[in-house]
Structure 1
Amino acid sequence: MKKFIKYSLLTLGALLIVGLSGFYIWTQQTYEPSDELKNLVGEVKKEDGWVIYEPEEWNKAEGVILYPGAKVEPEAYSYLGQQLSEQGYVVGVPDVTLNLAFTNINKAEEMMERYPSANTWYIGGHSLGGVAAASFAHNNLKKIDGLFFFASYPAGGDDFSQKNLPILSIYAENDGLTSAEDIEESKRILPEDTVFHEINGGNHGQFGMYGPQKGDNKAEISAQDQQDLIVETMVEWMEK
């Protein structure tokens, strides 16, 4: 009996190690920034685990924190960061542990500490990054002035329906990973005045710039066009 228990524990331990190893390998198979993005923004620099874009004249004292989608490298959102910075916002996209934002939900605090003069902060994320950003916002309502989702929505436990927080939800017509039904279902845990905006012809992967994503549908517009529409929608929402 003792030998059976011993061998059973050894087998379970081996299976656990194999499972964890497989999970780790999976998290390291990331989506890298596309050549199109590199041509648009040039060299992307990362400092202290953040891709940061500062405006030339920072007169708004407003910041944007964007949590990346699962296994998407932060550099893939550089075009969004660059374009938003040209509108006067300081923008930060963080590295996250295992390339999964839910492992670093409180990562936004680093950006806030880095720019203490900023008196207005918007936080959000793409796909799984949006779920993590919503969790941070739900637990830090006094620190956040707005929450945005790119093809994303809160986890069921983060109910904002009775919270006084401006929220923007941008989704895409041809998204193969976050469906229109998912967005519709999310409305029950979001405030009535949440702004919803659909990008016609867009898809899931083009909320960043990292090329095709497994399970996604083909976009009918270019990645740059989709990104420009995202920036336009965000700026209009933030300025209100």
Structure 2
Amino acid sequence: MADESGAPPRRRRRRVVRIVGIAVAGVLVLAIVGGLVWAGTPYRAEAAGLAAAEADARITVADEGDVVVLSPAAEASTTLEGQGIVFFAGARVDAAAYVATFRDVAAAGATVVLVRPILNLAIVELRPLSTFTDAVPGVESWSVGGHSMGGVRACTYAEDDAVQALVLLASYCSLGDLSGRDDLTVLSITGSRDGVLRQDAADEARDLLPDDAVFVELEGVNHAQFGDYGAQPGDDEATVAGDEAHAEIAATIVDALDG
């Protein structure tokens, strides 16, 4: 029996299902495209910070596509000689935005590999650690680290026994349990003006780190100052200058890795 439109009920149901299916598919396509556009437009490094690093005779800066490598030059000190750090950028932050942060770490003798993760989201990074360490021969010991979401991913890489230290910047371990790694040096740095980090979650996650993990809060530093990419929505206003924040962060990292 046909309905008022003249179409049999079964045919009408099929037409409705087809229309709904097309609508759902359209929404999914828009969501995927929107997500890719969002992930593909990261926060960029401030030009002044990059220029200052490139002019620094103590280090060399090489942008190699998937990574940005900071290497100690002849004028660098030997404090961290032979050490290397693989560092994962925060969500939608370009790796070059951490050049200013790690400039003094490289000048202390360490080689720093700043990773551009897949889709600019470290949480979906699937490449093995060797992808980044093999690109820099001559390093004797490796550390891993990350900012915000990058630190969450770094925690999983730190489960590798070959990793000597973990450096968390405005981050915490929600993936992986490192509490049993008594041989792992762990440094967690936060800022007192961070409006993005979920401090309650960070406090709850402390049990996933070794008992001797070191926690340092830098006064006046906000979330975005762990990189050098300008203001970030939701963040609090910093009460220290960016250059001062970067110098404090670097000095804290050097002290931890030198110990």
Give the aligned partner of residue 130 of structure 2. 109
The amino acid of 1:83's aligned partner reads: D
Provide the C-alpha distance between the structure 2 equivalents of 1:95 and 1:115, rounded to a whole number of angstroms: 16
Note if contact 1:105-1:135 (Cα within 8 Å) is conserved in structure 2. Answer: no
Q: Which runs of 5+ in 2 are unaligned?
A: 1-12, 56-60
Is the Cα–Cα contact under 8 Å of residues 64 and 89 in structure 1 kept in the other structure? yes
Which of residues 237, 248, 257 in structure 2 aligns to 1:218? 237
Greater helix proportion? 1
**8 Å contact kept, 1:204–1:216:** yes
- Superposition CA RMSD, Å: 1.9
Q: Encode CA deviations 1:180-209: one digit per residue, 9 max, x unaligned.
A: 433322212111110000000100000001
Q: 2:203 aligns with which of 184, 189, 211?
A: 184
Query: Is residue 162 from structure 1 mapped to residue 180 from structure 2 by the alignment?
Result: yes
Q: Secondary structure at the match of 2:163?
A: coil
Number of equivalences = 237
Measured at CA, do residues 81 and 191 of structure 1 come closer, stay the same or move farther in structure 2, by a change above 3 Å?
Answer: same
Tell me which residue corresponds to 1:227: 246
Q: Distance in 2 between matches of 1:72 and 1:113?
A: 24
* Residues 1:92 and 2:113 are matched in the alignment: yes
- Could you tell me how far 1:105 is from its partner in structure 2? 4.2
Question: When the two structures are superposed, what TM-score results if normalisation uses the length of structure 1?
Answer: 0.91
Distance across 2 between alignment mates of 1:127 and 1:46: 22
- Cα deviation, residue 97, structure 1: 1.9
Q: CA deviation at 1:117?
A: 2.8
Deviation (angstroms), 1:108: 3.4
**Aligned partners of 1:182 and 1:199: how far apart in 2?**
19
Instruction: Establish whether residue 54 from structure 1 lines up as the match of residue 66 from structure 2.
Output: no
Q: Structure 2 residue aligned with 1:7, among 19, 39, 45? A: 19
Q: Distance in 1 between matches of 2:130 and 2:15?
A: 51
Q: Deviations over 1:42-78 (max 9, x none)?
A: 4764114211111125862210111001111111111
Structure 1 match to 2:53: 41
Aligned partner of residue 173 in structure 2, secondary structure: coil
Larger radius of gyration: 2
2:39 corresponds to which residue? 27
Partner Cα distance (2:128, 2:48) in 1: 28
Q: Unmatched 5+ residue regions in structure 1?
A: none
Give SS of 1:106's match.
Answer: coil
Moved more, 26-35 or 41-50: 41-50
The one-letter code of the counterpart of 1:11 is: A
Which AA in structure 1 matches 2:30? V
Q: Does the aligned pair in 1 maintain the 2:86–2:133 contact within 8 Å?
A: no
In 2, are the aligned partners of 1:105 and 1:136 still within 8 Å (CA)? no
Distance 2:128 2:225 in 1: 24
